Chains A and B, each alone.
Chain A
Amino acid sequence: MICAIDFGSCWIRSVFRKPETPDRLAMYSEKSEYALLTNSQDLRRTLDDQQIPYADCEGALVVVGNSAAKAHWLSRVPCTPLLIDGIVPTDDPPARQMLSVLTDAMLPPLSGSRNLCAITVPGLRDGSELAVKNEEFLCRLVRMRGYQPVVVDHAEAALLATCSDASFTGISIVMGAETTTICVARYGMPVATETVALGSNWIDAEVARHFRIQTWDDEGTCYLDLESVRQWKHAGNVHLRNALGDRERMMARLYTVALDRISGTVAQMLTSTPVRNALQRQRLSVMLSGGAVMIEGFASLLTERFIEHEIAERILSVRVSSDPATAVIRGALIFAELESRALAVEEAA
């Protein structure tokens, strides 16, 4: 069985082909968050009656994944992300166990002689001890399920999924919830990869902080209401180029700041020696993926930033992929299938 799992800060997705229907993809998609409920008999009975899966913790009940939205009305505490800042939390043991439960439920059963799973790891991959432990923890979860994990970069996976018409040559940018990954590739081989610790969560948090979009629990503790910001943003009325109202203008300014930094990183990558040697002055297509690029006007704003950084002459086109939310997981599956074949050839040799 060959599969792929994308540990995202907002969603955890897995995809694979069922042996009986190889011409279709099966996908599991769960929100990577949990709802915290008071440990009371009434709530426990309600969850039992509604057939909502939950877990007993010390002093609380938690509901994980998509079910958290169903049980959220039972509590005024906003949902807690399973991966805080794209990192497996070290001070939240139940969150780590919930990641294990979700991984176990989302990966298909083993079949065949080669069981390979491509995984994407959230957060920075800068070689620091924290990043190494983060990656090792998630790989161990996959390994415990019986799969051989293969780590793939977000942008590289998205490149495989979306840049076939450009001969897998170009710039792939994946803007997620916590990080933005950039990959310059030539014929499918990454020439330069960079990760920027900037994502849509930072923008949402700044908007919520600026406009005091807050929520309070029963004890009066205050939290930023990021969920309402996300819902407002994804309602489809926000356009970065035609911002109306203070909140939209603030959102556009924050996106401009983020894209300015991304464009600066792209400019540095294009002037780096490996890229200059591999691509010389070839004009490159830019493919955008990730949940944060789905807002209207994103490509136009990024184009403006490219012009500002004087790298527009190196850009052939700026496109948003047809499936920005699922491009990474689909590319990871492509990577896993290609890797599986490469391993077969190596074994035969």
Chain B
Amino acid sequence: MERLRLVLIIAACGMTARTSLAQFPPTSGLNTPIAAQASFVVIGDVKNFNYFPLSATQPTTVREAVLNAGLFAGSATESVLRGAQDRTLWTQMISPDSADSGEFVMNGDVLIVQSMAPISEPIQKCAALRTEAGVIIVALADETVAIGDVLQQTNTLAASGQQQLKIICRLQGRPTVANALMTDKVIHGDVIALTADRQNELTGFGGMAPSFSEWRETAPAILAAQSAVESVPLTIEAPNVPSEDTDEYSLEIPASFQSTPVPANASLQSDSRSSDPFVEVGPSDKSLSLEVLTISQTSQDPDSAASTAQAAPLPPAEVPLLATSELVSAEISPWNLVFIGGLLIAGMLILAGSLRADDETSTLRDVESAQRERLQTSDLTLSETGVSPNTAITALAAEDAIRAAERQAAATGKRRIVDVTIAESTSMNPVASTEWFSGEWRTGQLLSPLAEEVSQGASPLRCELLASAAHASPSLNAATIAEHSVDMQSKEQFPDLEDLIQNRLPIDLCETRLPLRISLYGRPAGPRRLRIDAAHSLLAGPHSNIAADRRRDDATAVGASATASRNQLSGSGPDRALQSLQERTDS
């Protein structure tokens, strides 16, 4: 019955998974026209925040990229966001006098620059929005810009309902936000990420072919950002926003915004409804303007990148959310109905299964309580049962105590590694332990060998890893009979060990201080020379190693060394030794 239930669940999930594929709109427009030229983005305290093209022939180092963007002060720190990562890969001090570390900028990188010295010049504040489609640079003309405004302006508000919203990078001194809200303020230098939950994508589901993901697999999407950004109709309001909401705002062009700084050679672009570059904020008389920089697909020169500057209506926080819900509701199609139906069926099956499991659990508890009463009242002796009644009662009492301790430990957050023997000891176990799949569907048995190792006195290092493993898999904290507490002093001793394991610690790339001039003993060998064997005009005779060795002398080097005569190569001692050494290295 259990297997039948699993099969039904898998079938239902498979059906829903297939329909869910149909939920996505065709993305050929985003993926097929991969930009011919790669690019990266520089934002923060730089004079020219923009997209920059990457040369295929001459790679650009990080330092060169930041200096090209223009520093305001003498020195600055830059952080690198690479690929689809949600944390900065490293930070680096950069100044016109600093040495180049040689780290190259890669396609899709976002470089965030923060000046280390106070800036006296007026600075254009900016931020970046990273979506599955690419990176969009947002110029901030006001301190009150919220994330919802940015999403509204970039037409990503509809997609944000199904994806996770994070602020993955901020200038130093400000913490990142794992679950950002629409009302959170966007600050200068922020990088907002709108990503899907990767954990769900990485694991396969029952298929024979494993699923795979790839680092930098989103790079083509980032490459396609330019075309994607260009296709964004930068409207002030979403097409499906009710008119009564939008009618509340009247158009107005604040004179102070006429001179909003725009990157060099950037051109204005707006749709018919937002022909006026700036719009009044609304009833609250609150104004802001957003500039969303786009780059022309036909021109790869950042200087010629087209940009769009327009004012955004600052609606109340509810307005974007309302618009989002209506956008979603407007997209309901027959495939959506099929998808929802499949989800409902799967949910009902899971609910029925869990109810049945609860019944079994309650039945097991009844059996245990009846056994307890029987043991307390019976006159069974050790000779009849093989188990002393007192021993059995003690075991059951110990079990209760352990469960209570476990609940208490769970409440205090203490991690433990536990052993599971209940299901194995009960006669209601439907699967024998000898069956090959017995250890896969029951989480308890996954843990039992783990606990054995702990009980057998594993090393502290091992215990720490096991503790991390138990912490990583909540299912391991199953019903217990014997517990093994793991010393948690390590967490106190290394408060950031978990951060180190989870790759949450930022990396500062330091410059190695080598002595300027030293003397070394010996003669350097130099790089390995290319040797091309001459064509064998005569085959060596059979069983004649001497002849074969002699024929090796035909090997000649390309270039000037090829002009050396064969006699010279084979005649002089050092050359012969060098040749012998070369052959040994080649072999």
- Which residues of A pack against B, CB within 8 Å? 15, 17, 22-31, 34, 36, 48, 51, 53-60, 62, 64-67, 69-70, 77-81, 84, 89, 91-95, 97-98, 101-102, 105-106, 160-162, 164-169, 187-189, 214, 216, 219-224, 231, 234-237, 280-282, 286, 293-294, 296-300, 302-303, 306-307, 312-313, 315-324, 326, 330, 333-334, 337-339, 341-342, 345-346
* Chain A residues positioned under 8 Å from B462 (CB to CB): 187-189
Smallest CB separation, B208 vs chain A (Å): 6
- Segment touching A, from B115-123, B140-148, B198-206, B224-232: B198-206
B468-500 to A contact mask, C-beta < 8 Å, 1/0: 111011001000000000000010011111011
**Distance between Cα atoms of A160 and B462 in the complex (Å):** 12
B62-97 to A contact mask, C-beta < 8 Å, 1/0: 000000000000000000000101000110000000
* Chain B residues positioned under 8 Å from A313 (CB to CB): 208
**CB–CB A322/B466 < 8 A:** no
Residue of chain A at shortest CB distance from B562: A220
**CB–CB B466/A334 < 8 A:** no
Smallest CB separation, B85 vs chain A (Å): 5
Smallest CB separation, B311 vs chain A (Å): 37
Known: A53-B515, A164-B472. A214 touches B530 (CB 8 A): yes
B185-204 to A contact mask, C-beta < 8 Å, 1/0: 00000000000000100111
**CB–CB A339/B208 < 8 A:** no
List 7 additional contacts besides A27-B508, A342-B459; criterion CB under 8 Å: A25-B500, A54-B516, A187-B462, A216-B558, A224-B530, A235-B59, A342-B461
Smallest CB separation, B247 vs chain A (Å): 47
* Chain A residues positioned under 8 Å from B464 (CB to CB): 338, 341
Known: A67-B514, A95-B525. A323 touches B85 (CB 8 A): yes
* Chain B residues positioned under 8 Å from A168 (CB to CB): 465, 468-469
**CB–CB B524/A333 < 8 A:** no
**CB–CB B524/A160 < 8 A:** no
Known: A27-B509, A221-B557. A319 touches B212 (CB 8 A): yes
**Distance between Cα atoms of A30 and B511 in the complex (Å):** 9
**CB–CB B210/A303 < 8 A:** yes
**CB–CB B85/A322 < 8 A:** yes
Smallest CB separation, B417 vs chain A (Å): 10
**Distance between Cα atoms of A231 and B103 in the complex (Å):** 12
**Distance between Cα atoms of A127 and B521 in the complex (Å):** 30
Most buried by A among B213, B518, B520: B520
**Distance between Cα atoms of A95 and B496 in the complex (Å):** 37
**CB–CB B102/A66 < 8 A:** yes
17 CB contacts below 8 A, A to B, read A15-B507, A23-B499, A48-B517, A54-B517, A56-B520, A78-B527, A101-B515, A105-B512, A162-B503, A164-B468, A169-B469, A187-B462, A189-B465, A296-B219, A297-B214, A330-B503, A334-B497
Smallest CB separation, B478 vs chain A (Å): 14
In the assembled complex, B375 has its CB within 8 A of some CB on chain A: no
**CB–CB B440/A282 < 8 A:** yes
**CB–CB B210/A80 < 8 A:** no
**CB–CB A165/B526 < 8 A:** no
* Chain B residues positioned under 8 Å from A105 (CB to CB): 512-514
**Distance between Cα atoms of A223 and B101 in the complex (Å):** 26
Known: A23-B505, A216-B559, A236-B38. A337 touches B212 (CB 8 A): no
**CB–CB A220/B500 < 8 A:** no
**CB–CB A55/B518 < 8 A:** yes
Measured as residues with beta carbon below 8 angstroms from the partner, the interface class of chain B is 35 or more
Smallest CB separation, A289 vs chain B (Å): 10
Smallest CB separation, B559 vs chain A (Å): 3
Considering the complex of A and B, which 4 residue pairs feature the smallest CB-CB distances, nearest first?
A93-B522, A220-B559, A220-B560, A188-B465
Considering the complex, which residues of chain B in the window 408-459 have a beta carbon less than 8 Å from any beta carbon of chain A? 436, 439-440, 450, 459
Known: A25-B508, A51-B516. A299 touches B212 (CB 8 A): yes
**Distance between Cα atoms of A54 and B515 in the complex (Å):** 8
Residue of chain A at shortest CB distance from B55: A235
Smallest CB separation, A256 vs chain B (Å): 16
Smallest CB separation, A7 vs chain B (Å): 15
In the assembled complex, B397 has its CB within 8 A of some CB on chain A: no
* Chain A residues positioned under 8 Å from B533 (CB to CB): none
**CB–CB B472/A60 < 8 A:** no
* Chain B residues positioned under 8 Å from A69 (CB to CB): 102
**CB–CB A94/B524 < 8 A:** yes
**CB–CB A53/B525 < 8 A:** no
**CB–CB A97/B581 < 8 A:** no
Most buried by A among B199, B450, B496: B496
**CB–CB A296/B204 < 8 A:** no
**CB–CB B460/A342 < 8 A:** yes
Considering the complex, which residues of chain B in the window 317-339 have a beta carbon less than 8 Å from any beta carbon of chain A? none
Smallest CB separation, A215 vs chain B (Å): 9
Smallest CB separation, B498 vs chain A (Å): 9
**CB–CB A66/B503 < 8 A:** no
**Distance between Cα atoms of A28 and B511 in the complex (Å):** 7
**Distance between Cα atoms of A91 and B503 in the complex (Å):** 40
Smallest CB separation, B468 vs chain A (Å): 6
Smallest CB separation, B260 vs chain A (Å): 34
Q: Which of A70, A79, A93, A281 is within 8 Å of B100, CB to CB?
A: A70
**Distance between Cα atoms of A91 and B199 in the complex (Å):** 50
* Chain B residues positioned under 8 Å from A167 (CB to CB): 468-470, 472-473, 476
Q: Which of A66, A97, A306 is within 8 Å of B520, CB to CB?
A: A97
Q: Which of A30, A219, A234, A317 is within 8 Å of B204, CB to CB?
A: A317
In the assembled complex, B523 has its CB within 8 A of some CB on chain A: yes
Smallest CB separation, A238 vs chain B (Å): 11
**CB–CB A296/B521 < 8 A:** no
